[in-house]
């Protein structure tokens, strides 16, 4: 539920700012980008733990449908548009910024340095209609579930792995997760916490480069405006 995931701010226009100096000049508080996008696009928000009631309330308060906030708690799953979505363990703090709460309660919490409790953080496992199973690590450390649940039960073939260090697994830890625990066919590097690319190329000496070198399978770097496609086995077939 941290701002960089739920969306506490956004840029003022498409392509304003850069990866090195992002434009976050427009506040999305107290709604969140997630709620605003869901309302504009009539989209679903799938979360775990105690997060769905929060988003349901935001949707309702802004003219959306609270039923569009859907729950997928550990061990269960929901299917949306042919995509099966399950939640798995993520080891990370998950406090709700009191600015999302607002009012006297939000101010009192902020003054006291307290964030709201919305339950445990989660990662996600998605099964697409072509059979591809993808693991979205989210912010996390190394967990046994990455081997016994993500690989052992779901057999994820593609991993979107956070590897920015400090707030989440660093390049070495993330490489251990994909090399020794999940063992997918391909990986997409995520959450670099720095400008990982410049001019469409990986920056030398970056965390992204360190992760690519440490991983034993292909690591694909997401670029703005470029779409990647993967087959059921996790192999990139387009936009690689």
pLDDT in tens, 85-114: 999 999 999 999 999 999 999 999 999 999
Q: What is the predicted pLDDT for the residue at 8?
A: 95
Summarize pLDDT for 9-40 with one digit per residue, the tens: 999 998 898 888 889 999 999 999 999 999 99
Q: Report phi then psi at 120, rounded to 5.
A: -75, 150
Region for 205 from its dihedrals, namely left if φ exceeds 0, alpha if ψ lies in -120 to 50, beta otherwise: left
What's the pLDDT at 41?
A: 96
Alpha helices in the chain (DSSP H): 3-6, 33-41, 51-61, 103-112, 145, 171-176, 207-214
Residue 167 lies in a domain: yes
Tell me if 223 is assigned to some domain. Answer: yes
In a domain, 78, yes or no: no
Residue 47 lies in a domain: no
User: Is 28 within 8 Å of 8 (Cβ atoms)?
Assistant: yes
pLDDT reported for residue 224: 87
End-to-end CA distance of the chain: 30
pLDDT of res. 146:
98
**Is 100 within the bounds of a domain?**
no
Question: Is residue 121 pLDDT above 90, yes or no?
Answer: yes
Count: domains in the chain: 1
| pLDDT single digits (tens) 159-182 | 999 999 999 999 999 999 999 999
Q: Which domain holds residue 177?
A: 128-240
**Does residue 98 sit within a domain?**
no
**Using 50, 70 and 90 to split pLDDT, how confident is the model at 195?**
very high
DSSP string, 71-112: E--TT-EEEETTEEEEEEE--S--EEPGGGT-HHHHHHHHHH
Are 97 and 3 within 8 A, CB to CB?
yes
Dist CA 118 CA 159 (whole Å): 25
* 59 falls within a domain: no
Distance CA 104, CA 186 (A): 48
Find the helix packing angle between 33-41 and 51-61, rounded to 10°: 60
Tell me the pLDDT band of 149, cut-offs 50, 70 and 90.
very high
Q: pLDDT at position 20, please?
A: 82
Note the pLDDT of residue 140.
Answer: 97
Average pLDDT over residues 112-120: 95
pTM equals: 0.94
- pLDDT per residue as tens digits for the range 49-99: 999 999 999 999 999 999 999 999 998 999 999 999 999 999 999 999 999
Question: Do the domain assignments include residue 179?
Answer: yes
Residue 234: the pLDDT is 98
In sequence order, the 6+-apart residues with CB closer than 8 A to the CB of 239 are 226, 227, 228, 229
Task: Give the pLDDT confidence score for residue 19 in this predicted structure.
Answer: 80
């Amino acid at each position: 539920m941290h701002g960089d995931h739920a969306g506490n701010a956004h840029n003022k226009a498409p392509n304003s700012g850069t990866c090195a100096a992002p434009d976050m000049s427009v506040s999305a508080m107290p709604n969140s980008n997630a709620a605003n996008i869901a309302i504009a696009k009539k989209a679903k928000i799938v979360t775990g733990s105690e997060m769905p009631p929060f988003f349901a309330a935001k949707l309702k308060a802004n003219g959306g449908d609270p039923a569009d906030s859907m729950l997928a708690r550990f061990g269960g799953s929901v299917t949306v548009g042919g995509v099966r979505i399950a939640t798995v363990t993520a080891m990370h703090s998950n406090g709700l910024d009191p600015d999302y709460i607002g009012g006297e309660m939000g101010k009192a919490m902020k003054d006291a340095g307290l964030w709201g409790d919305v339950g445990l953080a989660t990662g996600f496992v998605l099964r697409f209609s072509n059979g591809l199973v993808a693991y979205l690590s989210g912010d996390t450390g190394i967990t046994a579930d990455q081997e016994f649940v993500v690989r052992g039960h779901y057999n994820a073939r593609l991993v979107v792995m956070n590897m920015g260090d400090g707030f989440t697994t660093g390049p070495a830890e993330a490489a251990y997760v994909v090399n020794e625990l999940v063992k997918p066919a391909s990986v997409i590097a995520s959450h670099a916490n720095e400008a990982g690319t410049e001019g469409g190329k990986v920056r030398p000496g970056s965390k992204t480069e360190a992760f690519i070198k440490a991983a034993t399978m292909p690591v694909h770097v997401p670029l703005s405006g470029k779409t990647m496609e993967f087959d059921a086995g996790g192999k990139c077939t387009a936009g690689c």
